[in-house]
Amino acid sequence: MADKTFIVKIKRQQRPDEAVRWEEYELRYRPHMNVIICLRDIAEKPFTRSGSESTPVSYEANCLEEICGACAMIVNGKPRQACTALVDDLEKPIRLEPLTKFPLIRDLQVDRSSMFENLKRTKCWIPIDGTYDLGPGPRMSPETQEVGYALSQCITCGNCLEICPKVNEHSNFVGAAIVSQVRLFNMHPTGAMHAGPRLEALMGPGGIEDCDNAQNCVKVCPKGIPLTESLAAVNGQVLVHAVKSFFRGS
């Protein structure tokens, strides 16, 4: 009996300045396959559907369980994690494209370091080191822990930026993920001591004001993070900070 097969179409580019080409691969179906398995199958036997020899597809993946964020790509038109995109659930032929809001490296691999730069710019960490032992920090209420836990699950995949109409070459918007991290670190009792500089950073170009409430981010976040709540909450924090520091000095 012939093996059951299915088609995967991949948008490929050797280099960012090279012309785009779409390649089609016919893969042998096995139960419970995900998109990463498809890409590995291609790497094993890089022959397109028409039989011409190609090269293994470039992509990123690490954890294979939706906790590292590396494998974000556009699967059938929607930004999502390839490792949890199951072949059984996907419409065929499966179409794979790289994220478009980050510089392309090759094939499905993009450079998402701008997110890391923006986390640094918005001071998304909690300073706990001193020249002497600072002792234990203030306690955190269970309610705060609960809200914070949901926010802390961000895997910096970039799907929320990919889907946002305000993230593009006409705007520097940092995106929902970064704003949500600012909320997380401002909520932490030690982190709250440095809320001011984080809010200041979000007042600059590309900051919170660029959000125009299309609310797409929350639809594509693989971790179900309440991004629209984070955006509204931080918007309020920035406003209060701006008014206070103008009228009373910071």
* Residue in 78, 86, 111, 134 binding another protein, rule: CB under 8 A: 78
Q: Are 104 and 110 in contact (CB under 8 A)?
A: yes
The only residue of 38, 70, 151, 177 in contact with ligand FES, by rule CB under 6 A: 70
Extract the tokens encoding 139.
């306690």
Tell whether residue 215 is a contact of ligand HEM (CB under 6 A): no
Q: Which is nearer to ligand HEM, 111 or 212 (CB)?
A: 212
Hey, which residues between 11 and 70 contact another protein (CB under 8 A)? none
Which range of residues in 66-74, 102-110, 119-127, 132-140 is near ligand FES by CB under 6 A?
66-74
Element (H, E) at 103: none
159 makes contact with ligand SF4 (CB under 6 A):
yes
14 binds ligand HEM (CB under 6 A): no
CB of 72 to another protein, least distance (A): 14
Structure tokens of 151? 């926010």
Give the DSSP letter string of 210-249: G------HHHH-TT---HHHHHHHHHHHHHHHHHHHHHH-
In sequence order, the 6+-apart residues with CB closer than 8 A to the CB of 31 are 88
Least distance (Å) between residue 184 CB and ligand FES = 19
Residue 98 touches which of ligand SF4, ligand HEM, another protein, none (Cβ within 5-8 Å per kind): none
Footprint on residues 179-218 left by another protein (CB under 8 A): 200-201, 203-207, 209-216
Q: Is 150 helix (H, G, I), strand (E, B) or coil?
A: helix
Question: Which letter, b or e, does each residue of 206-245 get, where b requires 16 or more Cβ atoms within 10 Å of its Cβ?
Answer: bbbebbeeeebbbebbbbebbbbebbbbbbebbeebeeee
Q: State the residues that interact with ligand HEM by CB under 6 A.
A: 212-213
